[in-house]
Structure 1
Amino acid sequence: MPTVPLPDDLRAALAGQLAATAPSAASAQVERLMVAYRGTTPTAAPVLRDAADVAAYAAYRMPATYAAARTALGAFRLRAGGWAPGTHLDLGGGTGAATWAVADAWPGAKHTSTVLDWSQPALTLGAALARGAHTGPVRGASWRRQPLGGAAGLPASDLVTVSYVLGELTEADRDALVGAAADAAGGAVVIVEPGTPEGYARVIAARDRLLAAGLHVLAPCPHDAACPVTGTDWCHFAARVQRTALHRQIKGATLPYEDEKFSYVAAARFPAAPAAGRVVRHPQIRKGLVLLDTCDVPPALHRTTVSKRHGALYRAARDTEWGDPWPPEQIG
């Protein structure tokens, strides 16, 4: 699985802003945050309450949130053709992981980003991190405090991202926020949630809301029909996260990476076609065989076996990763 590299300027900004954070103190803060994030009862207030919470979150979770958002945006961009956002709205963006991911997904694009969140300490740290950015869209982003529950009247934007925030809201507020995101989006909405059964359920509900608002799905699904993943299974993907030194200290980890599981949906208003199918499990490579589990059209899950006798297709299958389109549109 390829590692999603953290931009050098973001890595440096995190190190600079969090240099005074003691790993032992951050570890305790992170544990409290993880309990809050995994809780089943949504809150009426931000999970990130103060500067200490935000510093712990940025050290522990921002690289993973960035990697998941960047991977989802990459899959979306492959289907979006030449489309690029001129304006970007990051709902619940906190410290701005998705804003950094959008800038990296469309390098050189001259778009403007606005980050809305209900935690002022998160916005304050996000703006401080952005000051060290090499890219204009991050460095020039606007950071605004706004309650997310029942959000309405959002500024019109070409692209709206909603990453790792729906789990903090009540069901009614989630629906209202996704509806407001759809209303604000002139081009596309990308929603990312943890790759858990609960996160997947929130993504499916958001997907239904986006379809009802007139958008069509470009990724990961190859169709707008009901998801064929049912029962105790759930659709999710993984991004390999490049750990920072502080992250390794907080976790007491030795590996330079970890795998972040996430679920997502990317839907658009502009004309573009999704992939013919998508790999929804780790490919199984056997001697002379590659086994691929895919979601295809008509909506169904399939097991595809590709052998050496398939020639170039076999070579493509060996290079295929979990989450990639299948079959490949070009084989060479």
Structure 2
Amino acid sequence: MSSISDEIAGFTNYLLKRKLPVEDTALQVSAMKIEEEVRKQFVSEGCLEENSPSVREQEKRIQNIVLKNLRNITYCWRPLNYQDALCRLYMAGRMDGIFAATMRVFGEIERRIPDFAPHSVMDFGSGTGSSIWAAWQTWGENLHNYHAVDLSASMNSLAKLLIKGGEEIKRPLIRGVHFHTVLPPKVHCDVVVATYTLSELPGMKERVEAVCSLWKKTKCFLVLIENGTRSGHDVILEARDTLIKESRNGITENCDGYVFAPCPHEQQCPLPQQTKPLPCSFVQKYHPFPFPWNEPIKVEKFSFLIFSRGQKAVDQDWPRIVQPVLCRARHVHCHLCCADGTFQHAIITRKKHGRDVYRTTRACTWGDRLPVKLLPQEDNAVEEE
């Protein structure tokens, strides 16, 4: 039992700490900097002489040192080959957390547009089917077609088995699920989802192409979810920039789409520009699978983007709480991403902002939107009591 739990924990930690593959241009820049430093060191030590008969040997030695140092500082990214054993580890370690994060993100659409009734959903990089289950749980009575897209045949087989309740002879619990190994060419869906998938692609070019392809498949909402790490947030920002550019296509009015959540604006993200930059991430508590090694409650930390077709919602400019709310005796600390594209640390008091705003803020949590229009940033700060 302990060996199984250790395997699952090790693989889960590896996935959560996984970084993006290094781009060739960044690799070249790093190599040039290292080579410059090595050459300076050789010159200072008198080891590099232009007219020396052993110039070739010196150059070869420099190249070897550069390559060695480059390997030491470069993250070694490898694609994951999901065969049967690895698929089972993924199911045991990640399926419940991904389901919890996806339910939280789908809930953003459900709360703000309660009349939204999608008929079809597509999950790109569907894995064990977490997003299919989340969509069924959220809009199941309206959904008729589910399209699960995953390159791994083993993942698709496991997802099919889970939908049948673990037995091949049973009828599927979710009807209308279609499995694919590539994006179906003529299929367009109301909701298109990619959970923890873009970061598994081999480079920026492939990620951008995937985002553009998914947007073309989207009728209403494109939902992207990644780990709540710097790498995960970087992928979300990259996709956000791509989608804004793709939907604008040189047009400033009557745009094809807009950022629905979490951002209340479409300007540059203010969080990476802070003195102590943090990724824009959110948390969701959940009850994991009842395995003996699991804790009763776990927390999934994630970054996400919902991009929508059509007109902007009337409540689009409400500020988003992007860090834990700190409630004190007579005031509340609130860190907000605002509609003007700024990051604001607001200190809310009953005296300055009124009873309703004060009580509303105290009741809010990390990830909520604050349904108020705050004063300018310099007017929100008060001395702590």
Q: Name the TM tier (shorter chain).
A: 0.7 to 0.9
- 2:200 corresponds to which letter in structure 1? E
AA paired with 2:229? T
Residue 38, structure 1, aligned to residue 17, structure 2 = yes
Greater Rg, structure 1 or structure 2?
A: 2
User: CA 1:279/1:29 → structure 2, altered by over 3 Å: closer, same or farther?
Assistant: closer
Counterpart residue number, 1:267? 307
Q: Which has the higher contact order (CA 8 A, sep 6+)?
A: 1
Q: For the residues of structure 2 that align with 1:137 and 1:304, how far apart are their CA atoms?
A: 47
Counterpart for residue 285 of structure 1: 327
Q: TM-score scaled to structure 2, two decimals?
A: 0.71
Q: Does 1:95 align with 2:128?
A: yes
- Name the CA shift for 1:26/1:33 in 2 (closer, same or farther; >3 Å): same
Amino acid in structure 1 at the alignment position of 2:10: E
CA shift in 2, pair 1:176/1:326, >3 Å: same
Partner residue in 2 for 1:209: 242
1:294 equivalent to 2:339? Answer no
- Is residue 324 of structure 1 aligned with residue 368 of structure 2? yes
Encode CA deviations 1:160-181: one digit per residue, 9 max, x unaligned: 0000011111221111111100
Q: Following TM superposition, by how much is the alpha carbon of 1:96 offset from its aligned partner in structure 2, in angstroms? A: 0.8
Q: Does 1:156 align with 2:188?
A: yes
Rate the CA distance shift 1:219–1:271 in 2: closer, same or farther, 3 A. same
Kept in 1: contact 2:227–2:233 (CA 8 A):
yes
Contact conserved, 2:144 with 2:176, CA < 8 A, in 1? no
User: 3-state DSSP class of the match of 1:265?
Assistant: strand
**TM-score w.r.t. length of structure 1:** 0.81
Q: Which residue of 2 aligns with 1:312?
A: 356
2:60 is the alignment partner of 1:60: no
CA apart distance, 1:38: 3.4
CA distance in 1, matches of 2:244, 2:226: 18
CA drift at 1:111: 3.5
Q: How big is the shift at 1:132? A: 3.3
CA contact (8 A) 1:79 1:218 kept: no
Instruction: Output the CA distance in 1 between the equivalents of 2:156 and 2:78.
Output: 18
The aligned residue for residue 240 of structure 1 is 285
Q: Contact conserved, 2:165 with 2:173, CA < 8 A, in 1?
A: no
| Number of residue pairs the alignment of both structures matches | 297
CA distance in 2, matches of 1:184, 1:208: 18
Which stretches in structure 1 are left out of the alignment for 5+ residues?
1-21
Task: State the shift of 1:288 in Å.
Answer: 2.4
Q: 1:316, 1:328 within 8 Å by CA — same for their partners in 2?
A: no
Rounded Cα–Cα distance in structure 1 between residues aligned with 2:13 and 2:261: 28
The amino acid that maps onto 2:288 is: R
Match for 2:179 among 143, 168, 192?
143
Alignment match, 1:165: 197
Q: Equivalents in 1 of 2:135, 2:238: separation in Å? A: 24
* Aligned 8 A contact 1:132 1:139 in 2: no
- Provide the secondary structure at the position in 2 that maps to 1:245: coil
In 2 relative to 1, CA 228–129 (structure 1 residues): closer, same or farther, beyond 3 Å? Answer: same
Matched, 1:25 2:8: no
Q: 2:358 and 2:338 mapped to 1: Cα distance?
A: 19
Partner of 1:230: 272
Select the residue among 103, 108, 116 that pairs with 1:75. 108
CA contact (8 A) 2:99 2:131 kept: yes
Cα separation, partners in 2 of 1:41 and 1:267, compared to 1, 3 Å: closer
Q: Name the structure 1 match of 2:228.
A: 195
Q: Distance in 2 between matches of 1:102 and 1:233?
A: 30
Residues 110, 137 of structure 1: 8 Å contact kept: no
Could you tell me how far apart the structure 1 residues matched to 2:306 and 2:362 are?
26
Give the 3-state SS of the residue equivalent to 2:340 in structure 1. Answer: coil
